Structure 1
Amino acid sequence: MAQKCEMRLLGKTGSAFTNRVRFVLKLKSIDYEYFEEDLDNKTELFLKSSPVFRNVPVLFHGDGPPMIESLCIMEYLDEIKPDVHPILPKNPADRVQFRILAYTFDNLYYPAMREFMLTRDVDKREAMKGPITEGIARLEEAFIHVSKGKEFWGGDDIGYLDIVFGVFLGWFKLFGKVFDFDVIDEVINPRLAQWGRSMWSHEVASTIIPNHEIHAKFLQFLHNRMPPTSRPLVDLSY
């Protein structure tokens, strides 16, 4: 009889936060069972495991309590298997810097991009391009500083911030297709553009980061959950 995996992951295809965890699991060669959660008909296990936020992903490890929030799960996986592709830098000050950048993205940049793609007001969406572009410009500056001339945020290989930001590359492509908005501009953000190409060509990233077609389906799912009068006026059948 096959041995049961100690780790189980509840997630949603197209969710960048789910894919962060899958990325780390793949990098560290950790076996796990994946369960697709139907967010329209949530399972009892999911509701009990994430009773407050009710967000994916949720990770179970053995008999331990369920773990939520992708950034926390990523750090947990790095701590329990530190000798296989460590993703956080060894220097405590550097780790703090990485966490600050990840927190800023999740709490400032990501909400702005989510509002952009879900707003029905075309003029409002157009006005929101400026702040998003400014945010990406700051990330370009941060990348130049943190990477120290190397290919990835983590240096010579993929690390914590590469995963945090990289799982959104498929979404960025979708923005170009659906909204005619290049989030990472080849001219304005040349270092991030090169980093994006390196990410897509990485053997793990290419199997974890969904293409924009997958994200289009997820975006349609988000649209369908909104009241008809609030759904954005966008064409997802390109």
Structure 2
Amino acid sequence: MAKEVKLFGMWASPFSRRVELALKLKGIPYEYMEEDLSNKSPLLLKYNPIHKKVPVLVHNEKPVTESLVILEYLDENWETHPSLPQDPYERAKARFWAKFIDEKLLPTVSKLGHMAGKEKEDAIEETQQQLKIMEDGLKGKQFFAGQRIGYLDIAANVLI
């Protein structure tokens, strides 16, 4: 049975870029559906009625939402280029750091554009400290996963 994959995304969404990167690394053919988030399509609202945002991966008419969840779904359904480590402890660490990026680092970075003065200086310092923590995880490695791009590398792609 052919597997139909569609990705509802937006060109400026780093979260959509995560999923696109994973699909390309795995060699999964997919149809890309560009969304205008100021005028959301009925299909986006159908497939993601809770959050009404991108990305949404639709696999055989079954929607999967949230970029990190989608990355795990892709790993579970396509064996090519696995992104999560095989070792349960390493897998848990990758998930922890991906959550750190989404819940700690990105909110700090996104605040920077709306701040000034001392508040902005403090946020810059906090961002630098958080990036240093991430950088320490790369010591001696080309990628977080070692010698090839993995889950955490894809998750961290939003920082570029």
TM-score band, normalised by the shorter chain? over 0.9
Q: Which has the higher contact order (CA 8 A, sep 6+)?
A: 2
Structure 2 runs not aligned, ≥5 long: none
The alpha-carbon deviation at position 165 of structure 1 amounts to 0.6
Q: Secondary structure at the match of 1:143?
A: coil
Distance 2:96 2:141 in 1: 20
Flag the structure with larger Rg: 1
**Structure 1 counterpart of 2:144:** 153
Please tell me whether the aligned partners of residues 137 and 144 of structure 2 are also in contact (alpha carbons under 8 angstroms). no
Structure 1 runs not aligned, ≥5 long: 170-238
**Structure 2 counterpart of 1:36:** 34
**Structure 2 counterpart of 1:236:** none
Which has more strand, going by share of residues? 2
Structure 1 window deviating more from structure 2 (160-169 vs 25-34): it is 160-169
Distance 1:151 1:127 in 2: 30
The alpha-carbon deviation at position 53 of structure 1 amounts to 1.8
Q: Does 1:61 align with 2:53?
A: no
Distance 2:101 2:14 in 1: 13
**Structure 2 counterpart of 1:76:** 73
* Correspondence for 1:139 among 134, 151, 155: 134
Q: Secondary structure at the match of 2:108?
A: helix
Please tell me whether the aligned partners of residues 12 and 38 of structure 1 are also in contact (alpha carbons under 8 angstroms). yes
The alpha-carbon deviation at position 73 of structure 1 amounts to 0.3
**Structure 2 counterpart of 1:163:** 154
* Correspondence for 1:125 among 101, 120, 127: 120
Q: Does 1:109 align with 2:105?
A: yes
Which AA in structure 2 matches 1:15? Answer: S
Q: Which runs of 4+ in 1 moved over 6 A?
A: none
The alpha-carbon deviation at position 167 of structure 1 amounts to 3.6
The alpha-carbon deviation at position 69 of structure 1 amounts to 0.4
Please tell me whether the aligned partners of residues 10 and 36 of structure 2 are also in contact (alpha carbons under 8 angstroms). yes
**Structure 2 counterpart of 1:7:** 5
Q: Deviations over 1:142-180 (max 9, x none)?
A: 222xxxx221111111111111112421xxxxxxxxxxx
The alpha-carbon deviation at position 47 of structure 1 amounts to 1.5
Count residues in correspondence.
158
> TM-score normalized by structure 2?
0.93
